[in-house]
Structure 1
Amino acid sequence: MIHEQFFEDYERGARRTSTGRTITEADIVMHAGQTGDFFPHHMDAAWCATQDFGQRIAHGTLIFSVGIGLTATQINPRAMSYGYDRLRFIKPVFIGDTIYSTVEITDQRDHPRRTSHGVVVETVTVSNQHGDAVLVCEHLHLVERRTPRSE
C-alpha cells in the first residue's frame, strides 16, 4: 500500500503493530544456509537439549530480518531506510514461537547535511506470543521535507 508522508507529517508516539509470523524449523535451516551460520545453538537439537535453553534457538539475524519484514506494509515514496541503531537481542526465539512487530515514532531530527530531508526514527520492538520483547532496535528513515529547512 502506498502511504505518502513528508517529514512534517510524522507524529511522535504514532504506533502500529504487525500481524504475527510463526518461526519454523525450515526458517532456521534456510537462514543457516543463506548466512553460513551453522552454530549448534541453531542446528544441533541434541546438543541444545544439554544447554540452558533446552532447545534450538533462532538466529538473531533471522528474527531481525523477519521482524523488520513484518513492518514493511506501507510504501512511502518520500522516504527510504537510512539504517538501524541500537539493535539488541533480548530473549531467545524458539521453533514454533510467533513474533509480532510494533513500531513507534520516537524521534524526528534534522539531517546534518541535507536541508531537503529529515530523519525519522522508529523504535521497533519484536515480541513473542507471550508479549515478551525479544528484539528492539531503532530504524532510521531519510524522509523528504515538504518545505526544505533554511540553513
Structure 2
Amino acid sequence: VKFTNPVFPGDTIYVETEVINKRESKSRPNDGLLFFEHRAKNQHGTVVMECRRTSLMKKKFAE
C-alpha cells in the first residue's frame, strides 16, 4: 500500500479497482489468479492511495 497524498477530515474518498492480469494457477487446476490495482481518490480527483493485490479464485467451467 502506498499513500501518495494526505487525507483530511471531511474528505470524500472514492476507490477504483482494475483487473490488470489473470492466469491459471500452476498448483491448483480448478483455480485461477487475478491481479488487481486499487486507487483511492479524494473529491478533487487527487490519488491518495494505491495498491496492488493478488486473489485466488475458483474457475467457472463452461457447461
Moved more, 100-109 or 135-144: 135-144
Unpaired segments ≥5 residues, structure 2? none
Equivalences, count: 61
* Structure whose alpha-carbon radius of gyration is higher: 1
**Identity of matched residues, %:** 33
Deviations 1:28-54 (A, max 9, x none): xxxxxxxxxxxxxxxxxxxxxxxxxxx
Q: Aligned-pair RMSD on alpha carbons? A: 1.3
Equivalent of 1:132 in 46, 50, 58: 46
Unpaired segments ≥5 residues, structure 1? 1-86
Paired residue for 1:79? Answer: none
Offset at residue 112 of structure 1 (A): 3.3
> Greater relative contact order (Cα 8 A, min sep 6): structure 1 or 2?
2
Offset at residue 106 of structure 1 (A): 0.6
Query: Normalised by the size of structure 1, how large is the TM-score?
Result: 0.38
Paired residue for 2:55? Answer: 141
Query: Normalised by the size of structure 2, how large is the TM-score?
Result: 0.84
Inter-partner Cα distance in structure 2 for 1:139 and 1:95: 27
Write 1 or 2 for the structure with the bigger share of helix.
1
* One-letter amino acid of the counterpart of residue 40, structure 2: V
Paired residue for 2:4? Answer: 90
Offset at residue 114 of structure 1 (A): 1.0
Runs of 4+ in 1 over 2 A off after TM superposition: none
Write 1 or 2 for the structure with the bigger share of strand.
2
Offset at residue 110 of structure 1 (A): 2.4
Deviations 1:50-101 (A, max 9, x none): xxxxxxxxxxxxxxxxxxxxxxxxxxxxxxxxxxxxx211111011111000
Paired residue for 1:57? Answer: none
* One-letter amino acid of the counterpart of residue 93, structure 1: V
Inter-partner Cα distance in structure 1 for 2:33 and 2:52: 12
